[in-house]
Amino acid sequence: MRHNVKGWCPGALRPMEAGDGLMVRLRPRASRLGSGQALALADLAESHGSGEIDLGSRASLQLRGIRQEALPELRQALDTLRMLDADPAREARRNILTTPIANDAETLGLSAALEAALAEDLAEELDLPAKFGFAVDTGARAILGGASADIRLERAAEGLIVRADGMALGERVSAATAVGRAMDIARWFCAHAAGHRRMATLIAAGGEPPLKVASPPLRGEPLRPGKTELGSCVALPFGRLTAVTLRALAVAPLRLTPWRSVLVEAAVPPSPDWIIDPADPRLRVSACPGQPACGSASVVTRDLALWLAPHLPGSVSLHVSGCAKGCAHPRSAALTLTGRMGRFDLIRGGRAGDPPALTDLSIDDVHTLLRGPLAPPL
């Protein structure tokens, strides 16, 4: 039986067809991988696919180029690694992002309890949208505020809070009551969504979750590449890994982040395959896999983005998108190049599908326009 559905949010039990084969998305529990798990995934990526792996913006891993006939063996191996869900519904529901900076048992316990609650609530037919997600951001400070999540468990000055995305304040809770209150708000969303797919848009439209809001989260900065108290934060250009790179990083347990980086619980040396310098210009460019890896793309993206990265002034961000969907960076960028019928549209201060300032640009036009400083208006 074929489980691949084009356009579906892919998983191991329901992969998605792409230009380079099937794409299988994995959500490591608590956003973490043991060294053995990482080494095993590198082997699986090579033996059953292209050896290419993408880091997603929700701390997921996407194995690329997986062959249809290899799916049964791949799933059996993932089950042995405790990375396979019981069924597609549980797989889709387990959309939990866990902070990489917490070492406490409380954070890991909250993540596990939330996973269990989401699985149990399938019996209630809780109809959450596919991209609806949760963040367990209960380190010393909340650092996942810019990452995609609809219900957030965070740390406030007085202790834990539950906060709905789009609200400044959260309700004070204990470790024993936090997950239950998060699920209450999820049920409220389902009952009041009225066509909205995300919590923030529902709140912006006037929705009022039944929270006794009292406290803001203690906010911290997202992890930047380089040395940290917990190890080395290593960014991957465009979130792109190979099996070889994953093996090289698996010298210690890994914590995945929503910034297309990995916190390695050890020191790692410099390498051209990854970024440990926070000033590296590649950190300011994003690009989807593009052609030929994605069937929706009409242009090559990542080679162009790498060529342009050194020409960007320090304040300028660039997104190169193979099509108007903008999967790699759904938010605005200072400059966006969107592929259309083999050529490019240029958008200033917008997203991939926004109205362009310039259209029908060839690759040579792009090189001419964006070569050198980009600060002057184009």
Q: pLDDT tens across 21-61, in order?
A: 899 999 999 999 999 999 999 999 999 999 999 998 889 99
Predicted TM-score of the model (pTM): 0.89
pLDDT in tens, 296-315: 899 999 999 998 998 887 78
Instruction: Tell me which residue has tokens 């960028």.
Output: 333
The domain segmentation of the chain, as residue ranges, is: 16-84+231-264, 102-215, 281-371
Give the C-alpha separation, 377 to 362, whole Å: 19
Predicted pLDDT of residue 331: 83
Q: Which residues have CB under 8 Å from 10's CB, separation 6+? A: 16, 22, 23, 24, 25, 62
Give per-residue burial for 202-227: e unless 16+ CB within 10 Å, then b. Answer: bbeeebebebebebbbbebebbbbee
pLDDT for 202 beyond 50: yes
Average pLDDT over residues 4-18: 72
pLDDT for 228 beyond 90: yes
Average pLDDT over residues 184-210: 96
pLDDT for 347 beyond 70: yes
Average pLDDT over residues 182-209: 96
62: left (phi over 0), alpha (psi -120 to 50) or beta: beta
Overall fold of domain 281-371: Sulfite Reductase Hemoprotein; domain 1 (3.30.413)
Burial grade of 357 (CB within 10 A; 0-12, 13-18, 19 or more): middle
Mean pLDDT of the chain: 91
Residue 8: band (very low, low, confident or very high) from pLDDT cuts 50, 70, 90: low
Best CA proximity match to 91, nearest among 172, 27, 144: 27
Token pair belonging to 96: 């939990």
The hierarchical CATH code for the domain 16-84+231-264 is 3.90.480.10
pLDDT for 104 beyond 50: yes
Instruction: Tell me which residue has tokens 């290593």.
Output: 234
Residue 121: band (very low, low, confident or very high) from pLDDT cuts 50, 70, 90: low
Average pLDDT over residues 346-355: 94
Predicted pLDDT of residue 19: 81
Residue 2: band (very low, low, confident or very high) from pLDDT cuts 50, 70, 90: very low
pLDDT for 257 beyond 80: yes
pLDDT in tens, 130-152: 889 999 999 999 999 999 999 99
pLDDT for 98 beyond 90: yes
Give per-residue burial for 339-353: e unless 16+ CB within 10 Å, then b. Answer: bbeebbbbbeebbbb
pLDDT for 3 beyond 60: no
Torsion, Cα of 188, 193, 196, 201 (10° steps): -50
Give the C-alpha separation, 79 to 244, whole Å: 23
Residue 254: band (very low, low, confident or very high) from pLDDT cuts 50, 70, 90: very high
What percent of the chain has pLDDT above 70? 94
- Taking CA atoms, 66 is separated from 25, 50, 185, 188, in Å, by 11, 7, 37, 38
Burial grade of 247 (CB within 10 A; 0-12, 13-18, 19 or more): middle
pLDDT for 189 beyond 60: yes
pLDDT for 373 beyond 70: no
